[in-house]
């Protein structure tokens, strides 16, 4: 039983990432009807927002400390980050340490801008083109974004640690009546999951309880009629695109302590996120979220040694196998609306 709990928990953090990316993909598909292969690149950009903020905060001035010497006997050079100079050593150091959570604030305007620029600059011209063209052009865009990031940050993963407070693990077992140390769960993953849940709730609440969200939902159902009512639906869909970009970016920012960002992390997640979207049902927001968590948890179950002993290699392919089954058995996915891209 405790093993089952552990696997569920392990699946949650990856599942949250899938759910967030898939949510963004579905938002874009549901509103604009565009298949965005560059969404993984947005996730990656978010992660690199965190890296960038960390780099900005650690820009240092070099001074010579006469009291200490390095191993050659010369006076040692000390790097002092400017933030420590300006805000005091203690506060500055904690700023640097908390760079990942701070990057949430930093990344929102950046990702929103990237999303707007992408939609207005490129995707706008592809509404009427076939899906194959949309896939191809966003695929090209993803390559371009990747290569730009690679040019500036290199090809190696850049470790970006979480604040020290979250370094340990949370003893989840004690909470539900098991012995100590049976179900350990790193704090950061817990935070990632709660964060993802909060973001997802926020997006749903935004769509459900605001006038803006209502109009967007109406536009998803029948774009033409909403347009005829004199509402500038295109502008709202563009904003939804920006929101989807921000969601992907936030997923990336918070994922950096779990996986050191490198330039192709987006592509790795994108393939799986597409599978998630398809399993959940194209155009269904709850479906995307549910399928994201479901596949994350299933993947973690499949990587258990006992399961691999019965079905070798299942941990590698479980997601694809499920996707293939779903697509063939239930073409519209778990919660897909009737008639949306069923063929």
Partner 1 sequence: MLGLTRNDNRLLLFVVGLTMLAPFLLNPFPEGSAMAQFNAGYPDLMQRFVIFGIFAIGFNILFGLTGYLSFGHAAFLGIGSYAGVWMMKLLTMNVIPAILVSVIVAGLLSLIIGYISLRRSGIYFSILTLAFAQMCYSLAYSVFTPVTGGETGLQLSLNDPRIIGTAVTDSGNIPPPNLFGIAMRDGFEWQVGDWLFTFNAGYYLAAVVMLIAFYISIRIFRSPFGMMLRAVKSNQQRLDYTGLNIKPYTLAAFVISGMYAGLAGGLMVAMDPLAGAERMLWTASGEVVLMTILGGAGTLIGPVLGAGMIKYFENIFSKINETILHQWFAFLPDGLEDAVVFMIYPFIGKGWHLTLGIMFMLVVIFLPGGLVEGGQRVGRLFRKRKPDATSDASQTKPAE
Angle (deg, nearest 10), helices 89-97 and 39-57: 160
Q: Give phi and psi for 62, each to the nearest 5.
A: -100, 130
CA angle (80, 86, 87) in 5-degree steps: 105
Name the minimum Å distance from CB 218 to partner 1.
25
Taking the least distance from each CB to partner 1, the nearer of 152 and 212 is: 152
User: Smallest gap, in angstroms, from Cβ of residue 210 to partner 1?
Assistant: 30
Residue 133 or residue 232: which is nearer to partner 1 going by CB?
Answer: 133
Least Cα distance to 235 among 32, 22, 29 occurs for 32
* Among the listed residues 97, 108, 102, 209, the one whose alpha carbon sits nearest the alpha carbon of residue 163: 97
Q: Least distance (Å) from partner 1 to the CB of residue 52?
A: 18
Closer by beta carbon to partner 1, 155 or else 165: 155
What is the closest distance, in whole angstroms, from the C-beta atom of residue 331 to partner 1 in the complex? 7
Q: How far is the CB of 267 from partner 1 (least distance, A)?
A: 7
- 332 touches 282 (CB < 8 A): yes
- Residue 124's SS3 state is helix
* Positions that interact with partner 1 (CB under 8 A): 35, 122, 125, 130-133, 135-137, 139-141, 143-144, 146-148, 150-151, 267, 271, 274-275, 278, 282, 312-313, 316-317, 319-321, 323-324, 327-328, 331, 341, 343
Closest to partner 1 by CB, 53 or 326: 326
Nearer to partner 1, 92 or 333 (CB): 333
Q: Which is nearer to partner 1, 185 or 301 (CB)?
A: 301
* Sequence-ordered alpha helix ranges (H) in the chain: 2-32, 39-57, 82-87, 89-97, 99-121, 131-153, 172-175, 187-209, 211-221, 223-228, 233-255, 265-280, 285-302, 305-310, 314-329
Contact 25, 39 (CB under 8 A): yes
Min dist. Cβ of residue 213 to partner 1 (A): 26
Q: Which is nearer to partner 1, 245 or 302 (CB)?
A: 302
* Least distance to partner 1, CB of residue 133, Å: 6
DSSP string of 54-101, one letter each residue: HHHHT-EEEEEEEEEE-TTSSEEEEEEEHHHHHH-HHHHHHHHHTHHH
**What is the smallest separation between the CB atom of 148 and partner 1, expressed in angstroms?**
7
What does the DSSP assignment read for 302-329? HTSHHHHHHSTTHHHHHHHHHHHHHHHH
| Nearer CB in complex with partner 1: 106/126 | 126
């Amino acid at each position: 039983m405790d093993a089952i709990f552990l696997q569920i928990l392990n699946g949650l953090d990856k599942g949250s990432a899938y759910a967030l990316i898939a949510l963004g993909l579905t938002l874009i598909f549901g509103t604009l009807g565009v298949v965005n292969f560059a969404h993984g690149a947005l996730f990656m950009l978010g992660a690199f927002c965190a890296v960038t903020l960390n780099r900005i905060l650690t820009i240092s001035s070099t001074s010579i400390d006469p009291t200490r010497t390095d191993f050659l006997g010369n006076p040692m050079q000390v790097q002092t980050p400017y933030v420590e100079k300006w805000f005091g050593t203690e506060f500055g150091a904690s700023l640097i340490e908390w760079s990942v959570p701070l990057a949430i604030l930093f990344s929102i305007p950046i990702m929103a801008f990237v999303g707007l620029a992408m939609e207005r600059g490129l995707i706008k011209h592809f509404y009427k083109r076939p899906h194959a063209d949309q896939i191809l052009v966003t695929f090209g865009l993803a390559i371009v974004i990747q290569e730009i990031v690679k040019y500036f940050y290199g090809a190696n993963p850049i470790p970006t640690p979480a604040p020290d407070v979250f370094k340990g693990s949370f003893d989840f077992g004690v909470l539900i009546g098991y012995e100590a140390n049976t179900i350990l769960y790193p704090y950061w993953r817990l935070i990632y999951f709660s964060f993802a849940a909060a973001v997802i709730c926020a997006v749903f609440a935004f769509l459900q309880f605001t006038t803006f969200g209502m109009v967007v939902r109406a536009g998803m159902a029948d774009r033409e009629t909403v347009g005829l009512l004199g509402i500038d639906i295109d502008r709202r869909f563009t904003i939804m695109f920006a929101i989807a970009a921000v969601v992907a970016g936030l997923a990336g920012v918070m994922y950096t302590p779990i996986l050191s960002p490198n330039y192709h992390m987006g592509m790795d997640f994108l393939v799986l996120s597409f599978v998630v979207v398809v399993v959940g049902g194209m155009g269904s927001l709850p479906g995307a979220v549910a399928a994201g968590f479901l596949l994350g948890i299933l993947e973690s179950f499949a990587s258990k040694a006992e399961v691999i002993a019965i079905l070798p290699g299942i941990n590698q392919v479980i997601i694809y196998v499920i996707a293939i089954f779903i697509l063939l058995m239930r073409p519209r996915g778990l919660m897909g609306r009737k008639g949306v891209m069923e063929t």
